[in-house]
Structure 1
Amino acid sequence: MKTLVWVEHDNASVKDATLAVVTAASQLGEVHLLVAGEGCAAVADQAAKIAGVAKVHLADNAAYGHALAENVAPLIVDLMGSHDAFLAPATSNGKNIAPRVAALLDVMQISDILSVEGEKTFTRPIYAGNAIATVEASDAKLVITVRGTAFAKAAAEGGSAAVEAVAGPADAGLSSYVGSEIAKSERPELTSAKIIVSGGRALKDADTFQQVIFPLADKLGAAVGASRAAVDAGYVPNDYQVGQTGKIVAPEVYIAVGISGAIQHLAGMKDSKTIIAINKDEDAPIFQVADLGLVADLFNAVPELTSKL
């Protein structure tokens, strides 16, 4: 089986999410990568070094510069003539592109896979992660999105794949890039951080959130996350949100401060290696998944913890 993997990148470097997808794809067969963008030859060279990759397809065209699904999907469909499966990370771009590819191929999409059980058999979460379904595809072509936290990352060095230029349809004229506002932070990116400190609604307001959570995160060199309730209340922007409708994370250490542990939030972080919860309610659901729990007032416990680090 030949697999085609969408490379998540910023026209400068390969994103970590791609490495997990390469691991998943390698369990299906020969791995080919697709680097589509504008002025992205350096990305293709970097992608060629990923261990386990047999070939890199480079589509360098202004139409693909901002990964607009309406332009990228027809390119992928053309390449699927010589591939059996298309895999993309379950990122914003991946979840935007894959359904359109599936529709154009007239096949079903298998979303957010957690493991590869066979050539066409996979596991995926349902009911907000409370149950794991085993699904088997019956289509000739597979379209799959991969939960990056469920697979080990392939080595970024060690490969020597050939880079092959490919051409596809030009701008479809169905959408256009207007602009983007990208949050910049000196802290680690949320989905790739080894340590995450998250705050919940109990932090009262935006100023209190910053005063309590940010110093602890900075001491630990951690990323900052938040529950949906904290985001909805305006404490932090929505790109901080961890959960089913936010970002799925699996760091080495996840510290939940003032988070009760609603199913929506647990679905996004329960795969973390070590979960530490600080909450004054000893019956909070978060303690059911926590490895370490502290029943205490966060306004006393967190500053004390920060001062002792």
Structure 2
Amino acid sequence: MWDYSEKVLELFYHPKNQGAMDPSSEPGVRVVVGEVGSITCGDALRLYLKVDEASERILAASFQTFGCTSAIASSSALTELITGLTLDEALRIDNRQIADYLGGLPPAKMHCSVMGQEALEAAIYSYRGLPLPDHTDDDSALVCSCFGVSEQKIRRLIRENHLTSAEEVTAYSKAGGGCGSCLAQIEDLIAAVLAETDATPSEDSRNSKGNSQNQTEPSPAAPSPLTTLQKIARIQAVLDEEVRPLLLADGGDVELYDLEGDQVWVRLKGSCTTCPSQQNTLRLLIETRLQEQVWPTLTVHAL
């Protein structure tokens, strides 16, 4: 028997905002849907957002969930957390905030809060006309074929939630919870991500180093963990492997033009040059991925 908090049980027995949402006929209001998961894998969530188009504020949210106690409670909690927020504010909600709102989740059920975060991102990207990357049909990108979990998703969960064991990865993503043949690869990914993290000096370690030196002398600037050439190589790889395929599918394209420090300059092509969502493409699609996978302070500009 799982040790559920009172809040989890309350929202399981009496979920709030449950049910489908009809398309809006109100002027200036739009209803969008974000879907994640699969019934064949055990959990699925459909999240509905009613958005005021002028302010991009979420007027209401509802859900339909196929899943366990934690999945239903997490979905209900998410709708309460995001109602009244702007889309940009809602994008900052992560799975840990959902779990905290519930008073915690059993470790093996953290994937339910992750599912809520992903459904929210899917709905907002849909509203803004931006495609989410989908690796579920790309066998080369899959780590766990039982639950369709990609390497990119596992890496992201390890970084964002500071995971250090295959058991924790399984709890957050279900990867490794089927046949178990991918557990060794998951362990390798954990080691790789932790090595990348250790190579990046934290703010605390930099402050500690500075405090231990003579206070009358200025502390030397922390060296960049990546050279300019390394940054360029990684930026180009992310653009080629993750961004360009999505843009090409809609008649657009992008190329790396220049890099100055943490300022990245790109040239948008094709349909991207006249698209009204150009800034969303730059910020939500290109800049977000470069910050996650290359360096967190990168800023993207278009020529």
Q: Which TM class, normalised by the smaller chain length? A: under 0.3
Pick the structure with more helix per residue.
2
> Please, what TM-score do these two structures have when normalized by structure 1?
0.23
> Please, what TM-score do these two structures have when normalized by structure 2?
0.24
Pick the structure with more strand per residue.
1
